[in-house]
C-alpha cells in the first residue's frame, strides 16, 4: 500500500467519521459510460467535467463467488453487507443465510435511512439493502420485507408487487395490500411527482410506476420525478434526524439501457445520475458531515466508444465517435417500438412487408433523425420484423452511425469507477474489492454488521423451527417418518 497522503489512516479517528452516508450505485455504469456522458456534455452544454470527475479516487473489482462477471444481486450484496456471494443472492451468503445490511444496521442504530431508485424498488440493488431472499426474482417477498425494514424513505417503481392480486396489474399471488400495510405503519404513500414534492415529513413510500420508472429520455416530468428530484426530497427528509442518516441512491436504468444496447437511453440516464450526484454533493459540501460514495455494481453491455466499421462498410470509422448521432435520438428503443406499433395499427389491409419496413423507417426518421437507411439496413429491419431482434437491429443502425460498439446484452467484468467525497474519503482509494466498500462504510458509521448477521440468523432459525413444529403439529405424528 502507498503511504497515506494524509499521514494517518482514519477509520478510528472520530474527527474524520461522517455523520451521514449517501451511497450512489449507478447500476451498469462502466468506465466508457463516464467518457460518453462527458464527451456529450462537453459538446452540447460546454461542461468539461462530470459532477463526480474531481472526486474519483480509484476503481472497484466486482467478481462474485459464482462468476468473474457479477450480477446486480451479488454486486449490491457486496456493498450492502461486505460479503461476497453468488449471482442472484439478495443479502444472503453462499449458504443462503441472511446477512446484516448497512441500511438495516443503520436503522437499528436509530439513524434515518432511505432508498431512492428508478427501477422497481424490489429489484436486486435496493432489495439487497432491505431484504434477504435466496433468489432475486422473489420480488413479492422482497416487497413484504421492505415495508418491515424500517426505511424512512422508499422511492422508486414496482407498485405491482405491493398491490393485492385482485388489483389490475398486480403481480402478487396473495391478497396483501402492502401499501395499506405501510400506511398502517405510519408511511405516507405517494404515486406521482406532485405528491412527492408536497411532502414535508417522512416516513414515505413513493411508488411512481407499476414496474420501472421511465427511462429519462422518455420521462414525462409532470408525472414522474427525476432521480435528482427524488434525491433532493429524500435528503431533505432524512437530514432532519439528529442521529444521522444512511441513504442508497440507485441510477437503476443505466443498466437496463445497457442490456438493451440502447445508447441514447443509457446516455440520458447517466446524465440524470450526474444531476443527482450534483444534488448530493451540494448537500454534502454544505453540511460537512456527509460522506458521498458512488460506485457501480458492474458494467453492462460491453460499451465501447469507437468501433471497427470500416472493414465491412468501406467507411473509416475508426478513431472517432459521434455524440451528435445520439443527440438526435428522442426516445428509448421501447418508445420507438410503441410508435412503430401505432403505425402498424394504421396500415391498410393487405399491407406488404415493404409497408411495415416503411413504418419502422418513418419512426427512425421522426425519433432518431435517421433518413439515410441503406437497402441492406432495410433488409435487416425486414428480417427482424415482429421479433425482439428488431431492438438490436435498431441499436445497430444507431450505433454504427455513432461509431459505438456493444459486445453483450449482459454484463462484463471490467473494474468500475470509485468516487468519494467527505469525511472518511481517505479510506476509498486505489483498486478495491467491492466488499471492502461495504466493510469500510460500516466501520465509519460504527455499524456492527456481524452482530446483525448473527441476530438475523438466529431469527431465521427460530422461524424455521417454529414453522417446522407447526408443520409437524398439523401433519401429526407420522409413523415411519424421518
Please enumerate, by residue number, every residue annotated as part of a binding site for Mg(2+): 27, 123, 125, 250
Which of 330, 382, 414, 460 is close enough to bind its own copies by CB under 8 A? 414
Known binding-site residues for Zn(2+) equal 27, 255, 259, 297-298, 411
Q: Could you give the 3-state DSSP secondary structure of residue 224?
A: coil
User: Which residue do the cell numbers 438475523 mark?
Assistant: 456
Q: Is the dihedral of CA 165, 151, 449, 465 positive or negative?
A: negative
From the list 18-26, 221-229, 270-278, 402-410, the region that binds its own copies by CB under 8 A is 402-410
71 contributes a contact to its own copies by CB under 8 A: yes
Kindly state the cell numbers that stand for 435.
Answer: 466488499
412 contributes a contact to its own copies by CB under 8 A: yes
Which of 69, 167, 199, 385 is close enough to bind its own copies by CB under 8 A? 69
Tell me the H-state helices in 328-448: 333-345, 353-368, 375-384, 389-402, 434-444
Q: Which is nearer to its own copies, 6 or 354 (CB)?
A: 6
User: Which residue do the cell numbers 457486496 mark?
Assistant: 78
Binding mask 218-247 for its own copies (x = CB under 8 A): ------------------------------
409 contributes a contact to its own copies by CB under 8 A: yes
56 contributes a contact to its own copies by CB under 8 A: yes
Q: Which is nearer to its own copies, 215 or 419 (CB)?
A: 419
* Count of residues in contact with its own copies, rule CB under 8 A: 59
- For residue 206, the surrounding DSSP H or E stretch is strand 204-207
Which of 159, 305, 359, 363 is close enough to bind its own copies by CB under 8 A? 305
131 is catalytic: no
Give the rounded distance of the alpha carbon of 168 from its chain centre.
26
153 DSSP β-pair partners? 114, 204
Q: State how far the alpha carbon of 446 is from the alpha carbons of 20, 300, 450, in Å.
A: 11, 33, 12
Whole-number Å distance between alpha carbons of 410 and 386:
23
155 contributes a contact to its own copies by CB under 8 A: no
Whole-number Å distance between alpha carbons of 419 and 461:
39
50 contributes a contact to its own copies by CB under 8 A: yes
Which of 201, 354, 407, 463 is close enough to bind its own copies by CB under 8 A? 407
Which residues neighbour 140 within 8 Å (Cβ) at sequence distance 6 or greater? 122, 161, 171, 172, 173, 174
Q: Which of 141, 142, 126, 72 is nearest to 247 (CA)?
A: 126
Q: Could you give the 3-state DSSP secondary structure of residue 402?
A: helix
Q: Which is nearer to its own copies, 14 or 349 (CB)?
A: 14
Which of 174, 175, 194, 308 is close enough to bind its own copies by CB under 8 A? 308
Q: How far is the CB of 54 from its own copies (least distance, A)?
A: 4
DSSP state string for 237-295: HHTT-TT-EEEEEEETHHHHHHHTT-HHHHHHHHHHHHHHHHHHHHHHHHHS-EEEEEE
Kindly state the cell numbers that stand for 306.
Answer: 469507437
435 contributes a contact to its own copies by CB under 8 A: no
Which of 84, 233, 333, 411 is close enough to bind its own copies by CB under 8 A? 411
Phi, psi torsion values for 59, nearest 5 degrees: -150, 170
Q: Which is nearer to its own copies, 6 or 464 (CB)?
A: 6
2 contributes a contact to its own copies by CB under 8 A: yes
Which of 116, 425, 444, 445 is close enough to bind its own copies by CB under 8 A? 425
Count other Cβ atoms within 10 Å, centred on residue 1: 6
Q: How far is the CB of 209 from its own copies (least distance, A)?
A: 27
- The four Cα atoms 126, 132, 134, 136 give a dihedral, to 10 degrees, of -20
Q: Which is nearer to its own copies, 136 or 411 (CB)?
A: 411
Kindly state the cell numbers that stand for 222.
Answer: 409532470
185 contributes a contact to its own copies by CB under 8 A: no
Q: How far is the CB of 277 from its own copies (least distance, A)?
A: 13
Q: How far is the CB of 23 from its own copies (least distance, A)?
A: 17
Catalytic one of 72, 128, 130, 380? 72
311 contributes a contact to its own copies by CB under 8 A: yes
Known binding-site residues equal 27, 123, 125, 250, 255, 259, 297-298, 411
35 contributes a contact to its own copies by CB under 8 A: yes
Kindly state the cell numbers that stand for 3.
Answer: 503511504
53 contributes a contact to its own copies by CB under 8 A: yes
β-pairing, 204-207 with 153-157?
A: parallel
User: Do 63 and 414 contact (CB within 8 A), yes or no?
Assistant: no
Q: Which is nearer to its own copies, 253 or 411 (CB)?
A: 411
**Site for its own copies, rule CB under 8 A:** 1-2, 5-7, 30-32, 34-35, 38-39, 49-50, 53-59, 61, 63, 67-71, 87, 299, 302, 304-308, 311, 318-321, 405-415, 417, 421, 425-426, 429-431
Q: Which residues are catalytic?
A: 72
Amino acid at each position: 500500500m502507498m503511504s497515506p497522503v494524509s499521514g494517518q489512516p482514519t477509520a478510528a479517528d472520530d474527527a474524520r467519521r461522517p455523520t451521514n452516508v449517501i451511497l450512489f450505485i449507478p447500476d451498469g455504469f462502466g468506465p466508457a459510460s463516464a467518457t460518453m456522458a462527458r464527451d456529450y456534455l462537453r459538446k452540447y452544454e460546454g461542461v468539461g467535467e462530470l459532477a463526480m470527475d474531481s472526486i474519483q479516487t480509484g476503481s472497484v473489482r466486482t467478481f462474485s463467488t459464482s462468476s468473474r462477471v457479477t450480477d446486480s444481486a451479488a454486486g449490491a450484496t457486496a456493498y450492502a453487507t461486505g460479503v461476497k456471494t453468488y449471482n442472484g443472492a439478495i443479502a444472503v451468503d453462499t449458504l443462503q443465510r441472511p446477512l446484516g445490511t448497512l441500511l438495516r444496521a443503520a436503522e437499528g442504530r436509530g439513524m434515518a435511512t432511505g432508498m431512492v431508485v428508478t427501477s422497481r424498488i424490489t429489484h436486486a440493488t435496493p432489495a439487497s439493502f432491505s431484504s434477504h431472499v435466496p433468489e432475486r426474482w422473489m420480488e413479492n417477498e422482497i416487497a413484504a420485507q421492505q415495508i418491515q425494514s424500517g426505511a424512512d424513505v422508499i422511492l422508486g417503481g414496482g407498485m405491482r408487487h405491493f398491490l393485492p392480486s385482485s388489483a389490475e396489474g398486480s403481480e402478487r399471488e396473495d391478497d396483501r395490500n402492502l401499501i395499506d400495510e405501510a400506511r398502517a405503519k405510519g408511511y405516507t404513500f405517494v404515486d406521482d411527482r406532485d405528491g412527492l414534492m408536497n411532502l414535508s415529513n417522512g416516513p414515505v413510500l413513493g411508488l411512481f410506476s407499476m414496474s420501472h420508472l421511465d427511462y429519462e429520455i422518455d420521462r414525462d416530468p409532470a408525472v414522474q420525478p427525476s432521480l435528482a428530484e427524488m434525491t433532493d426530497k429524500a435528503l431533505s427528509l432524512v437530514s432532519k434526524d439528529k442521529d444521522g442518516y444512511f441513504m442508497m441512491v440507485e441510477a437503476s436504468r443505466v443498466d437496463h439501457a445497457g442490456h438493451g444496447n440502447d445508447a441514447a437511453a443509457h446516455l440520458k440516464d447517466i446524465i440524470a445520475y450526474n444531476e443527482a450526484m450534483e444534488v448530493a454533493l451540494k448537500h454534502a459540501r454544505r453540511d460537512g458531515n456527509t460522506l458521498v460514495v458512488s460506485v457501480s455494481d458492474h458494467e453492462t453491455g460491453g460499451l465501447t466508444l469507437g468501433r471497427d466499421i470500416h472493414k465491412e462498410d468501406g467507411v473509416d470509422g475508426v478513431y472517432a465517435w459521434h455524440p451528435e448521432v445520439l443527440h438526435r435520438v428522442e426516445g428509448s428503443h421501447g418508445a420507438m417500438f410503441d410508435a412503430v406499433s401505432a403505425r402498424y395499427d394504421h396500415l391498410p389491409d393487405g399491407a406488404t412487408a415493404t409497408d411495415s419496413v416503411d413504418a419502422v423507417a418513418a419512426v427512425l426518421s421522426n425519433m432518431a433523425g435517421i433518413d439515410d437507411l441503406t437497402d441492406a439496413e432495410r433488409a435487416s429491419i425486414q428480417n427482424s420484423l415482429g421479433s425482439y431482434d428488431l431492438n438490436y437491429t435498431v441499436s445497430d443502425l444507431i450505433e454504427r452511425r455513432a461509431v459505438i460498439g456493444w459486445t453483450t446484452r449482459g454484463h462484463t467484468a471490467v473494474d468500475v469507477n470509485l468516487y468519494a467525497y467527505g469525511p472518511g474519503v481517505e479510506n476509498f482509494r486505489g483498486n478495491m474489492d467491492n466488499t471492502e466498500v461495504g466493510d469500510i462504510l460500516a466501520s465509519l458509521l460504527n455499524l456492527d454488521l456481524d452482530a446483525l448477521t448473527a441476530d438475523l440468523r438466529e431469527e431465521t432459525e427460530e422461524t424455521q423451527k417454529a414453522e417446522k413444529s407447526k408443520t409437524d403439529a398439523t401433519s401429526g405424528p407420522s409413523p415411519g417418518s424421518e
